[in-house]
């Protein structure tokens, strides 16, 4: 903690503060500037009373109290300098291989899902995405097939060998969804639903945490902290665009999160260009940018007939476009030291 004292403080007041800091279990280091005194206090907030109240308790002496340590710990690169690799069936996300998770926004039926799964697998995807429980803005829109959707995902996995990622929408579904999925997706709308994050963590399955629609990176890292703090080390962050004033795109995909998350955290970073732009015609370019910038995986919406999709039709790419995209991504991935 950095404690800045008000200018013109008397020696007696300085002594009072130093005594209080020691009393709360911290070791003060005094730095005397020309105009004011700054105190660095070393200690552990987890086991000691916080120093943040000093400014409130001694308003005539203390000007400000600022933490120097980051608020997130377990997700931080400081805590774990090596990049974490998240095991998903026979794969590892965060290692040399770039993983592509592809499939429809929503599971709509057996034929749609199976056709998509076979095609994305043939094109080089390692994981199948598909929502069985859908977080829709309107209650009158398709809400997902629920358990039937989960069973279809499991069937597609049996037939293709693809790992399955699907969204966990409610704490009540945690055990059910974990029974069928290889990765639990926490959606943008639930990114700060802390009880849901805890429930997801406790299933022991890898968790992919989308960034909330208006979430700061620090809040996102702290939300991820809930997963690690609940004894689940297998966390991935997924940037899917944030809400801005821009209207050309559904969201503004923040690719700067790739180097930022890599710098701040040891957890892999996944990019979702589909929700990110809300436009199928931008998916290819955004994927290329993400791969060039070091994304560990991509989450892409693919549908056999996007025009007839039950959700997010405007942003899903066709099977043909997906196959072409994978072809174009391969040399790019190699150029940045990844295999695809
Ligand atoms: C999705 O992946 O289809 C989805 C609903 O994502 P998000 O939570 O990012 O909107
Ligand atoms: Mn979608």
Span 57-77, pLDDT tens digits:
999 999 999 887 788 989 999
Residue nearest atom 4 of ligand 1, based on CA coordinates: 187
- Residue 3 Cα, ligand 2 centroid: separation in angstroms? 47
Closest to 322 measured CA to CA, from 291, 298, 295? 298
Place of tokens 């579904």: 173
How confident is the model at residue 110, as a pLDDT?
Answer: 98
**What does the radius of gyration of the chain's CA atoms come to, in whole angstroms?**
24
Helix (H) or strand (E) holding 86: strand 86-88
Taking CA atoms only, the protein residue closest to ligand 1 atom 8 is 187
Closest CA to 267 of 276, 257, 275: 257
- The verdict on the CB of residue 250 being under 6 Å from ligand 1 is no
pLDDT tens per residue across span 29-44: 888 877 889 898 888 7
What DSSP assignment string belongs to 146-196?
THHHHHHHHHHHHHH--EEEEE---GGGHHHHHHH-SEEEEPGGGTT-HHH
Spatial distance between the Cα atoms of 38 and 229, rounded to a whole number of angstroms: 33
Sign of CA dihedral 133, 137, 138, 142: negative
Distance 233 CA to ligand 1 centre (A): 23
246-262: pLDDT as tens digits: 999 999 999 999 999 99
Indicate the range of 35-39, 270-274, 330-334 predicted with least confidence: 35-39
Q: What mean pLDDT is predicted for residues 44-52?
A: 83
Integer CA distances (angstroms), 7 to 100, 157, 194, in order: 57, 67, 42
- CA of 211 from ligand 1 middle (Å) equals 10
State the pLDDT at residue 2: 84
Taking only the tens place, the pLDDT of each residue in 148-182 is 999 999 999 999 999 999 999 999 999 999 999 99
Question: Where does residue 129 rank: exposed (0-12), middle (13-18), buried (19+ CB within 10 A)?
Answer: buried
Ligand nearest to the CA of 137: 1
138: pLDDT strictly greater than 80 = yes
pLDDT 10s digits, 223-238: 999 999 999 999 999 9
Quick check: 268 and 297 in contact, CB under 8 A? Answer: yes
Strand-pairing partners, residue 106, are: 131
CA 152-183-70 angle, 5° bins: 155
pLDDT 10s digits, 93-123:
999 999 999 999 999 999 999 999 999 999 9
State in Å: Cα 60 to ligand 1 middle: 50
């Amino acid at each position: 903690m950095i404690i800045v004292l008000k200018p013109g403080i008397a020696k007696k007041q300085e002594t009072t503060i130093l005594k209080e800091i020691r009393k709360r279990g911290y070791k003060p280091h005094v730095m005397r500037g020309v105009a004011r005194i700054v105190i660095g206090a070393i200690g552990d907030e987890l086991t000691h009373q916080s120093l943040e109240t000093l400014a409130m308790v001694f308003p005539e002496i203390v000007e400000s109290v600022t933490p120097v340590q980051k608020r997130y710990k377990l997700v931080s690169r400081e805590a774990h300098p090596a990049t974490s690799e998240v095991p998903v069936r026979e794969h590892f996300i965060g290692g040399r291989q770039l993983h592509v998770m592809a499939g429809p926004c929503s599971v709509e039926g057996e034929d749609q899902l199976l056709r998509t799964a076979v095609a994305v697998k043939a094109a080089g995807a390692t994981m199948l995405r598909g929502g069985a429980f859908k977080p829709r803005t309107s209650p009158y829109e398709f809400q997902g097939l629920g358990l039937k959707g989960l069973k279809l995902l499991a069937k597609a996995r049996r037939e293709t060998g693809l790992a399955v990622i699907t969204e966990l929408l409610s704490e009540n579904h945690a055990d059910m969804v974990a029974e069928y999925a290889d990765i639990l997706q926490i959606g943008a709308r639930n990114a700060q639903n802390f009880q849901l994050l805890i429930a997801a963590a406790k299933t022991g399955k890898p968790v992919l945490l989308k960034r909330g629609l208006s979430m700061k990176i620090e809040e996102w890292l702290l939300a991820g902290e809930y997963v690690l703090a609940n004894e689940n080390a297998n966390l991935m962050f997924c940037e899917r665009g944030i809400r801005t004033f821009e209207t050309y795109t559904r969201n503004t995909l923040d690719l700067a999160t790739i180097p930022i998350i890599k710098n701040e955290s040891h957890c892999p970073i996944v990019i979702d260009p589909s929700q990110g732009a809300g436009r199928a015609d931008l998916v290819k370019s955004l994927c290329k940018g993400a791969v060039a910038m070091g994304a560990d995986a991509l989450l892409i919406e693919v549908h056999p007939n996007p025009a007839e999709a039950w959700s997010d039709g405007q942003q899903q790419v066709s099977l043909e476009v997906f196959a072409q995209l994978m072809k174009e991504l391969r040399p790019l991935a190699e150029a940045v030291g990844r295999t695809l």
